[in-house]
Amino acid sequence: MIITSKKLSSFSNIIHGISTKAGGSPPYYNNLSKNVGDNINDVMANRQRFFGSLGIAESTLVHANQVHSDGVSVVSKPGLYPNTDALITSVPGLNLVISIADCMPVMIFDPVNKIIADIHSGWRGTQKNIAGKTIGIMVNEFGSEPGNLIVFTGPAISKKNFEVDTDVADMFAEKYKTPKPGFKGKYLIDTGGIVYDDLIAAGIKPGNIESSPLCTFNESGTLHSYRRDKDLSGRMFAVIGMKKMN
């Protein structure tokens, strides 16, 4: 089972997909991360199955090391990039990868200039507008026109399940937070709403945004969630690349 975007799937030169929890061996199931305590042989088998089903060679992968920041790296070769939560490339054949288990994956494609981006928008990155920053780099360094960009926001934790304390809630605008009924000092934060509004503010057309309705916390049978499963949570990968065209 791989989650895809209808909008991105309409472009023949784009490869993309988001893995799910389904498959693999318990307790981590179809986990693609080497850093959660899972058996490494199981992880590698899961990765091979996921990337193989998309026709992606693992030698072409670009990984962000994800420090929950607004760090963005423009990349031109495979590897692991430090202090990075978003990746941008204009190089066909490279496949950008981010790891998720409640945080929102944001995939962007510029079909005019042939640029792609893959963003790990955790709450800290969301609070710092990592999506808007990434788009700004695409505009300033690659000449992208925001109105041409196609965006897919994948499964993430929903507002009703994202509970935070007052110190975190204070970092967000009032319109995105609601006091949790019956729980003093607890708030629910709409990070998905923040990302959507930041995309619009950056110049993305509403009709060019496709958002997954799936909540990672709710979908216990199909999606990993760190909030739900804690140390037994695996990680999903969100990958996007441009094919080398002959």
DSSP string, 161-183: G-EEEHHHHTTS-GGGEEEPTT-
CATH number for the segment(s) 6-242: 3.60.140.10
Look at residue 30 in the predicted model and tell me its pLDDT.
Answer: 97
Kindly report the backbone phi and psi dihedral angles of residue 97, in degrees, each rounded to the nearest multiple of 5, phi listed first: -130, 130
CA separation for the pair 189, 164 (Å, rounded):
7
CA separation for the pair 67, 107 (Å, rounded):
18
Mean pLDDT across the chain, nearest whole number?
Answer: 97
Look at residue 246 in the predicted model and tell me its pLDDT.
Answer: 63
Look at residue 245 in the predicted model and tell me its pLDDT.
Answer: 78
Look at residue 186 in the predicted model and tell me its pLDDT.
Answer: 97
Look at residue 244 in the predicted model and tell me its pLDDT.
Answer: 87
Tell the residue number behind the tokens 């070769």, with chain if given.
77
Look at residue 173 in the predicted model and tell me its pLDDT.
Answer: 97
Q: Which of 244, 221, 220, 224 is nearest to 236 (CA)?
A: 224
Weakly modelled stretches of the chain, pLDDT under 70: 246
Question: Which residues, including other chains, have CB under 8 Å from residue 102's CB and lie 6 or more apart?
Answer: 156, 157, 162, 216, 217, 225, 226, 227
Helix (H) or strand (E) segment spanning residue 213: none
Q: Residue 210, SS3?
A: strand
pTM above 0.95, yes or no: yes
Q: Residue 91, SS3?
A: coil
